Structure 1
Amino acid sequence: MINTYFRAFSLGVVAGMRSMMAPALLSRKLVRTIPTKQPSKPIHYLALPTTSMVLTTLAGSEIIGDKVPSTPNRTAPPVFGARVVSGATCGAFLSQVEGGEVAAGAAAGGLGAAVGTVAFFQLRMWLTRGLGIPDPVVALAEDALAISLGWQVVNSIEPDVQTA
């Protein structure tokens, strides 16, 4: 079970980097692994192809929006809160899919999102202001890292077909 919560924490870190990336990647994974002929649980709706397409579009829009100078700071209270909620939700769903405790998965995902938000904000500030690396370059590197980490996390999910 500890691996489940580590994956939930890691997916939360991805949500801290890009709030829509974690749910988009999780949904894409669930579309391929959970049968949804008769959706009866919230997790089943996340596993619908339409949901996956919408979340993927939102994640792509967030990647573009992150490059706009007027985009709010990720540590501003409403934005920070949205990232924590995204991480907690993804952690809860991931935990449910693997047969773990939903509350523990939510806590791990929310904590991961909080850590990811602050850590990657500070790293980005240090790279741009401290080392003088252009912000768009750092932002693109962060996008690549979020996609790579998220992809690895969701592809390591071990679904418990009986609980999903």
Structure 2
Amino acid sequence: MQKYFWQTVGLGALAGFRSITAPALLSNNLSKFHTRGLAKSPLRLLQKPWVAAGLKMMAAGEMVGDKLPAAPDRTAPPVLAGRALSGALVGATLYKVNHDSVLKGALLGGAVAVAATYGSLFLRKKSTAESGLPSSVVGGFEDILVIGAGLALSKGTALGSPAGRAL
């Protein structure tokens, strides 16, 4: 399997937990490692520092909003669609950077995001019930997991740079 396949799976899963975090991490890395693979593509906007900064701010807002009592259920159709689109965006971008099928990347990222959405909901409910902690506290631990996994996923790599290809 190609490195970008596993990056797509990892970031797609993160999109299922927190929809904006995955594109924020990818955009942050792409803003440092400009690739020719995105030239003349609308996806090249993810390489812009202002896009990376905006996505990071949105990700922080999402993490705060997730703890509010009025936060919508992550499996509500519009929310689930957003998570699927986030995973699809990450997958399409990684596959485009690596000169592979954008559609294949989008389908993989979107499917993993949907699966991770249901998996994360199960884990959140189970953890809340078994620990006796409020859901917002468990959500805080979920945020730590997402940030830690995202940083580990991209640590020491030029996430978004072509695997085995020259920039």
The residue number in structure 1 matching 2:22 is 22
Query: Are the counterparts in 1 of residues 29 and 160 from structure 2 also a CA contact under 8 Å?
Result: no
The residue number in structure 2 matching 1:104 is 104
Give the Å deviation of 1:43: 2.6
Any stretches of 5+ residues in structure 2 without a counterpart?
Answer: none
The residue number in structure 2 matching 1:160 is 162
Query: Are the counterparts in 2 of residues 30 and 47 from structure 1 also a CA contact under 8 Å?
Result: yes
Give the Å deviation of 1:35: 6.1
Using the alignment, how far apart are the partners of 1:3 and 1:102 within structure 2? 16
Query: Are the counterparts in 1 of residues 30 and 47 from structure 2 also a CA contact under 8 Å?
Result: yes
**Deviations for 1:77-121, whole angstroms, at most 9, x for unmatched residues?**
110111001101111101222333222211111111011100010
The residue number in structure 1 matching 2:67 is 67
Q: Residue type of the partner of 1:143?
A: D
**Deviations for 1:17-51, whole angstroms, at most 9, x for unmatched residues?**
00000111110000000069xx6322321110111
Using the alignment, how far apart are the partners of 2:97 and 2:145 within structure 1? 24
Any stretches of 5+ residues in structure 1 without a counterpart?
Answer: none
Number of residue-to-residue matches in the alignment:
162
> 1:5-154 maps to which residues of 2 (within 5 A)?
5-34=5-34, 40-154=40-154
Using the alignment, how far apart are the partners of 1:74 and 1:117 within structure 2? 7
Query: Are the counterparts in 2 of residues 4 and 105 from structure 1 also a CA contact under 8 Å?
Result: no
- How large is the RMSD of aligned CA atoms in angstroms? 2.1
Structure 1 residues 117, 163: CA separation in 2 closer, same or farther (over 3 Å shift)?
A: farther
Using the alignment, how far apart are the partners of 1:89 and 1:158 within structure 2? 12
Structure 1 residues 91, 146: CA separation in 2 closer, same or farther (over 3 Å shift)?
A: same
- For normalisation by structure 1, the TM-score amounts to 0.89
Range that drifts further, 19-28 or 148-157: 148-157
Using the alignment, how far apart are the partners of 2:166 and 2:107 within structure 1? 19
Q: Residue type of the partner of 1:104?
A: K
Q: Percent identity?
A: 36
Give the Å deviation of 1:53: 1.0
SS class of match (2:32): helix
Query: Are the counterparts in 1 of residues 35 and 162 from structure 2 also a CA contact under 8 Å?
Result: no
- For normalisation by structure 2, the TM-score amounts to 0.87
Using the alignment, how far apart are the partners of 1:35 and 1:115 within structure 2? 30
